[in-house]
Amino acid sequence: GYGKMVVNVKIGDEKHNLSELLDWLSDILHTSFSQVEHTCSGAAFCQLMNIIHPGSVDINKVKFTTKETADILDNYSLLQEAFSKAQIKKVNILKTLDLLTWFKYLYDHNVSLKSSREFENSKKEEQSSRLYSTVQTKYQNQKMLNVKRGSHESFFRSPATMCFIKKYGSSTSPDAGSNFASSKDSLVLGQKCQEDITAFCSQTPYCLYLYHGVELEDENKASVLLLGFFDKVTGENKFRLLDVLQPEEETADAICTCIVEMLKKFRIPLMNMAIFYSDFPDHEGLLSGLKLLKPETVSLCGLTDMAGRVCHSGVENMEFSGLILNLITEIYKHFPTFPDALQTLLEDVDCSNFRNILTSQCSLFWRIIQRMTLAWSDLEEYFGSLDADGKEICRLLSDPKIRLNVLFLSHALQPLCDFQENIDRGVSVTQLLQDASQLVRFYTASFLRPKAAEFFLRRGKTSLIQDPVGHLPRGEVEVGKQAADFLLQRSEELTDYLETFQSSIISFYTTVTVHIIERLPFSDSILRNLSLVLSPGKKLEVTGKIVQDLGVRFGVCSGPENVSLLTDEFLEYQFIDGGDTHLADQSTEQYWKTELRIIGWKSSFGKLIVSLLALPRTLKKEIIFEQVSHWCMKSLRNQNIIYQISTLHPTSAVFSGFGLWPGLVQSWDSKRPCGSMRKVIFFGNRLLSEIQADDLLPFFSFAKCFCSNSFATVMAYKDAIFYSLQVRQILLLVLCSSCANMQFTDSKDELLRVMLDWAFGGFEPLGPEGLQPQSVCNGMQQAPEGFCLSCGSTPVEIIHPLFEGRLCSNCKYNFTETLYRYDEDGYQSYCTVCCSGMEVILCGHDNCCRSYCVDCLDILVGEGTFDRLKNVDPWTCYLCAPESSSRALKPRNDWRIRVQEFFANNSAMEFEPHRVYPSIPANQRRPIRVLSLFDGIATGYLVLRDLGFKVEKYVASEVDEESITISMVNHDGKITHVDDVKNITKKHIDRWGPFDLLIGGSPCNDLSIVNPARKGLFEGTGRLFFEYYRLLNVMKPKEDDPQPFFWLFENVMFMETQVKADICRFLECNPVLVNAVKVSPAHRARYFWGNIPGMNRPIIASQNDKLTLQECLEPGRTAKYEKVRTITTRTNSLKQGANDAHFPITANGKDDNIWITEMEKIFGFPKHYTDVKNMGRLQRQRVLGKSWSVPVIRHLLAPLKDYFACDEVPLK
């Protein structure tokens, strides 16, 4: 049964004030109700019924967060069941207020004051508080974690959690305890804290921490569960407290279950758990359970106790380990009787069990060993003077074998102790992993041959180091200086022991190395290069292989296609920013905050970076607890504080809670009704609160609400007043004349004084009316900075370089690929704005080749714009005539600079750092030797001679007879022409070489996207790239060859992204993009890969470069265009405009085409350079259309003058 029957009641004539009823309910449930609507969910009535009739309601089934009608109905069903159990037959209640009044009567008739107090006292023994809120949690047993609760319970859930915050929060806030104890709204924080954590970690890789045996109050202990992650918004590493666990069973399975259920409760995906750390004794069992759910989880559990466990295992495998431990134990039994001088030499410690010290206190054991080696002679003398008790110790001290082993340990254990001290100091995990790599290298170098050590570090197989073949011979194994000197002194006594000693120390080194490797989370190569990936200044040293390995290890790549995508995105990251833009005073986190906005944190490479940034800054729990407690106490410091925001709503208010405090009202989330509550952001601390609208005063009441005493004594209040007035001016878009004159003053106080005068004067010139909310602007009348100008999506990543607006990450890549793609008519293949579009309109202005699609014009400018502009001939686009722009499509004033900056960071960025050759002194430089593949008409030789290089040998591979003839005639047969590149072998290279420079550009027919029948990189002429790659590998010098070797490869820019990525992977660098239009009258955008210094520098025209078409024409001919489109082997490529309709030149009043001699000047060749062998116009255009632009090649090869001999006066 349920005890005695509940006495039913009827509502009497006595009227209860609403405030009195809410106060009564708040007292009974130990919380705060301000509105009767807060009780509509029925949860409060279920609690009341359980108090009136204990056991009638299963509190665990009560829905304290009711987002749906079904939740409310479930609560009232529980209430109806409780009425049945209490034998309450009928309750005729129509209104919530009447139901609350009825419960007041029911409570008064059934629960006396005495029994009420007894009830409350008994409950306080079971649980520290019984609070109600919309996110309340009920714990029936504080010593057991209930893992079956709903997902919307409070963040601050158990008394253990409260105790943790109170204990560790007091160190960050002197009055934390009092604030915490008096906060009635601590549970109201819960839902927002939970939402904050869920919002971050549902999409972000995180690190999960579990600290075991954490001391709470009253000598209780618990396990603390934390989350660490990188906040991409603020660029900071943050910690969040999930819960304090006190499971009934301290087993790995029980705790693993708690962890998984807790993550489910917070709606945090387990798949986002990138890293896990715990000091739980059975962390291997704990990790095995988690890895069943997320196999790629990186475990750091083995780091903190690694030194102790490795030390123990290594010493135990030595021959004299038992004797050494017994010796130390016996010596310290006599420590109290030692002379003062001897006690000073030794470590004063209680060493009753040295085996435990070996396991958990490696540093202490090493200090004891170190002190003993210094006091060895004194110890021998002391124990030699004792009676029989000291004779055995003296005998051990006199044994040279034991002393030799102790000296060896003092040397061999020191790196382990240094590693442990770094852990104790709380250094970052990234630094710890680097130290671990050095630790492994120290031990492998101590007993392995160099090649064996390198092979082991590369393969990571522990069986390799156990093979005696790879061990150093006796006498070369590292034993330390003290042990080596002792061996020399006592060589005669130790001769027979040397073989055994060699075996013992190799056993020590082998055991230590194996145990270290087994406890490290990464391979040696990753350990050494981990910091390079995150270091902005060393990005060029990062290889694609390292990024791939990290991606696989962190679970970013689940298959070969993901590995390829990750590599492409990494190359894109290097392609976007080739220079070192990292500021000296900028932290790594702040650098990546900016970079992630560009590369996109949802990309594979972005996820990898966020995973790496989630690596703990420290594993020392005291440091982490301090940060976590600071966050908790910051949340609890004020009543009703919910969460932080960074956006403002243009309506101001003054909050009257702790006195009158300035704030800004923020609009409600669209998913949540506002009712009579308002969200107010506080100036000064930028914390947001939920406040009744009746408790807010308008900002024009500033003079009445201003508190002069607080302004004079409370700095936070003074700052809040300052910032509120500043924001008020910004939101009004008005500045008083006095304030305007003070905007650039260094005196904050003087500016504040002027703004106060403005406020007290009535906020002139607009007055109180100016403080009213402003209407929302028409979206078509404002610059669309909040959405992607191309596709309309959010979020956006970077600015659109041409127009006011921004681009998302996907459209950024499309823009990069297609902005310089042109059709055969010379116009852009895609829309200038969105880089897509099926139907476009072309600009008719001279020299402009841009197009605009129907969607961009009709949506961004206005409906019907496209149809209207089709009838305008010629139509001048918005970039050519910015004054004609309107609505949301407005060109940037500096778009010419912006678009260059957009592609400016296309420098060659190595997967592995290219070998850096120092410049050669002038008197040591020798003539250059060149191999040119796909040589064409010898542009390379022409440029080298124009630059003044002394060319000792120029070997050219070319199959086109006409091109070969042009080269021979123009260069007096100084070029050695050889067979097809496919027939060149290593023997040929050895006979012709050595070479200093390899240049070439394979045919682009099957690579260019202009060719619809292209076959790609692996078919047709595309395969000729691999001939270049083959010979490049043949010609590359050995590491010990100091002679510089350079190479350059060229191809068309209009290739598929995958083709470009494949070339990058083979050549192990990203290309630079150079467009000949900057140094010649013709567009000719090309990619160049290579290791020539300064390839990524801006190309600047020289005085001799002809930049306009008119400069290249013969007398009497007039250019209609300043620049012409890309000249190819096609005859019509010389014509301009849509459908090849316009001739570029007029002569004698008639339209004419470009002559071949003029075309030669456009490419930078001398006049009549191709006029050989009675070649016709079409043949000469064909060889020119396949050639390089001379000014571009001159720009790329000029830095080689620091390496090779040149003529005193360049030959022309």
Catalytic positions, please? 1004
Measured CA to CA, the distance from residue 657 to residue 673 in angstroms comes to 23
DSSP 1159-1208: HHHHHTPPTTTT--TT--HHHHHHHHHTS--HHHHHHHHGGGGGTS-B-S
Q: How many residues does the chain have?
A: 1212
* DSSP labels, 13-67: S----HHHHHHHHHHHHTS----GGGGTTSHHHHHHHHHHSTTSS-GGG--SS--
Phi and psi torsions of 959, nearest 5°: -105, -10
d(CA 1082, CA 1103) in angstroms, rounded, equals 17
Strands 951-957 and 976-978: parallel
Q: Give the CA-trace dihedral at 112, 117, 122, 123, to 10 degrees.
A: 90
- Give the integer Cα–Cα distance in Å for 1070 and 1091: 10
Give the whole-angstrom CA distance, residue 752 versus residue 742: 10
Residue given tokens 């209040």 in the structure block: 717
Distance CA 1116, CA 1150 (A): 12
Sheet containing strand 641-644, strands side by side: 641-644, 687-692, 677-682, 660-666, 651-656, 696-698
Instruction: Identify whether the C-beta of residue 314 lies closer than 8 Å to the C-beta of residue 508.
Output: yes
Q: Are 29 and 131 in contact (CB under 8 A)?
A: yes
Q: Which residue has the tokens 């390496």?
A: 1203
HSE-CB of 538 using CA atoms within 13 angstroms: 12
* Secondary element (H or E) of residue 977: strand 976-978
Give the largest Cα separation in the chain, rounded: 127
Sequence-separated (6 or more) residues with CB below 8 Å from residue 289? 252, 253, 256
- For the record, the structure tokens of 517 come out as 């490797």
Residue with tokens 């869920």: 198
Q: Looking up tokens 């590998």, which residue turns up? A: 1033
CA distance 1044 to 37: 81
Non-local CB neighbours of 280 within 8 Å, separated by 6+ positions:
210, 212, 223, 252, 255, 286, 301
DSSP helix/strand/coil, 806: strand
Read off the amino acid at residue 374: L
* C-alpha dist (Å) from residue 449 to 517, 588, 654, 803: 18, 38, 76, 63
Alpha carbon 835 to chain centroid distance?
Answer: 29
